[in-house]
C-alpha cells in the first residue's frame, strides 16, 4: 500500500513533471518519489557534493561561468544551482572521449 503526499505544483513539477495536476493546482506525488523532496540529510549531502566538485574543479566547476563571471572553481551566485550557460560551456569544452580509445586510435 502506497501513501501519497500533496505538494505545491512548482515543487511537484521539479520532482515529477510526468504526473498530471489535480484540481486545485497541486500534484499527487507517490511516496516512492518523496525521496526527491528535500530533507535536512539530503541538503547536507547535496551541499557536500557540490563543495567537493568546486574544491577539485570537477564537472561544471572546471570552467568560468559566462553568466555571473565567477572563475573556475567558484560557485555561481545562484544559491544551490549552476547557471545553464556554465553547464553548456562545460559540455562544449569537454574533450570528446570514446569508449575504447586504444582500438579507435589504431583504426
**105 within 8 A of 85, measured Cβ to Cβ:** no
**104 — pLDDT class (breaks 50, 70, 90):** low
Domain enclosing residue 64, as ranges: 49-93
Question: In the prediction, which pLDDT does 68 show?
Answer: 93
pLDDT in tens, 51-75: 999 999 999 999 999 999 999 999 9
Find the mean pLDDT for residues 33-60. 82
Query: Residue 61 domain-assigned?
Result: yes
Query: Residue 66 domain-assigned?
Result: yes
Here the cell at position 14 is 521539479
pTM, rounded to two decimals = 0.53
**86 — pLDDT class (breaks 50, 70, 90):** very high
- The C-alpha R_g of the chain, in whole angstroms, comes to 19
Query: Residue 81 domain-assigned?
Result: yes
Amino acid at each position: 500500500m502506497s501513501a501519497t503526499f500533496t505538494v505545491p505544483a512548482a515543487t511537484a513539477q521539479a520532482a515529477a513533471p510526468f504526473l498530471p495536476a489535480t484540481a486545485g493546482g497541486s500534484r499527487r506525488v507517490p511516496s516512492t518519489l518523496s525521496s526527491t523532496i528535500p530533507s535536512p540529510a539530503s541538503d547536507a549531502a547535496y551541499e557536500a557534493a557540490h563543495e567537493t566538485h568546486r574544491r577539485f574543479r570537477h564537472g561544471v566547476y572546471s570552467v568560468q561561468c559566462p553568466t555571473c563571471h565567477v572563475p573556475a572553481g567558484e560557485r555561481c551566485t545562484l544559491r544551490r544551482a549552476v547557471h545553464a550557460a556554465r553547464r553548456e560551456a562545460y559540455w562544449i569544452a569537454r574533450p570528446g572521449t570514446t569508449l575504447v580509445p586504444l582500438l579507435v586510435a589504431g583504426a
